[in-house]
């Protein structure tokens, strides 16, 4: 169920006009942030951009930062930093699980 809802959040199905309404950004701004690699909408056969709810969240984040005068280059760096952070946290979590698994395996073998 959670996995299911997650797929909704990431599904790229929203047109740029709707995104504009939802974020308050102009079409020009939204396209420009794509040019600066801040977002990556899906393109259908004829080149029409489609965004996900997650993209919308990112755009609202960008809007906030732009209002604070942060340049797109800086925003991009920040986003990459956060990505790194998430990755390293995931790595730590994986390591912990691996440790538990190993311990479990040792005990399990002892009993057999």
Partner DNA sequence: CGTGTAAGGAATTCTGACACG
In the complex, least distance from residue 3 CB atom to its own copies, rounded to whole angstroms: 11
Q: In this structure, are residues 53 and 5 in contact, taking their beta carbons and an 8 Å threshold?
A: no
Q: Considering beta carbons, is residue 9 or 95 the nearer one to its own copies?
A: 9
Burial class of 95 by CB neighbour count within 10 A (0 to 12, 13 to 18, 19+)? exposed
Q: Which residues bind its own copies (CB under 8 A)?
A: 2, 5-6, 8-9, 11, 13-15, 18, 22, 50, 53
User: How many angstroms separate the CA atoms of 98 and 106, rounded?
Assistant: 12
In the complex, least distance from residue 71 CB atom to DNA, rounded to whole angstroms: 4
User: How many angstroms separate the CA atoms of 112 and 95, rounded?
Assistant: 26
Q: In this structure, are residues 12 and 51 in contact, taking their beta carbons and an 8 Å threshold?
A: yes
Q: Which does 26 bind (CB under 5 to 8 A by kind): DNA, its own copies, none?
A: DNA
Q: Considering beta carbons, is residue 77 or 103 the nearer one to DNA?
A: 77
User: How many angstroms separate the CA atoms of 81 and 34, rounded?
Assistant: 19
Q: Which does 72 bind (CB under 5 to 8 A by kind): its own copies, DNA, none?
A: DNA
Binding site for DNA (CB under 7 A): 15-18, 20, 26-29, 31-33, 36, 46-49, 66, 71-73
């Amino acid at each position: 169920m959670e996995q299911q809802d997650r797929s909704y959040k990431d599904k790229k199905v929203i047109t740029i006009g709707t995104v504009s309404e939802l974020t308050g950004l102009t079409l020009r701004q939204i396209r420009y942030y794509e040019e600066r690699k801040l977002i990556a909408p899906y393109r259908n056969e004829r080149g029409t951009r489609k965004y996900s709810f997650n993209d919308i969240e990112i755009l609202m984040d960008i809007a906030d930062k732009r209002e604070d005068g942060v340049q797109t280059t800086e925003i991009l760096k920040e986003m990459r930093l956060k990505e790194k952070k998430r990755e390293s946290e995931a790595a730590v979590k994986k390591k912990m699980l691996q440790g538990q698994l190993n311990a479990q395996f040792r005990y399990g073998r002892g009993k057999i």
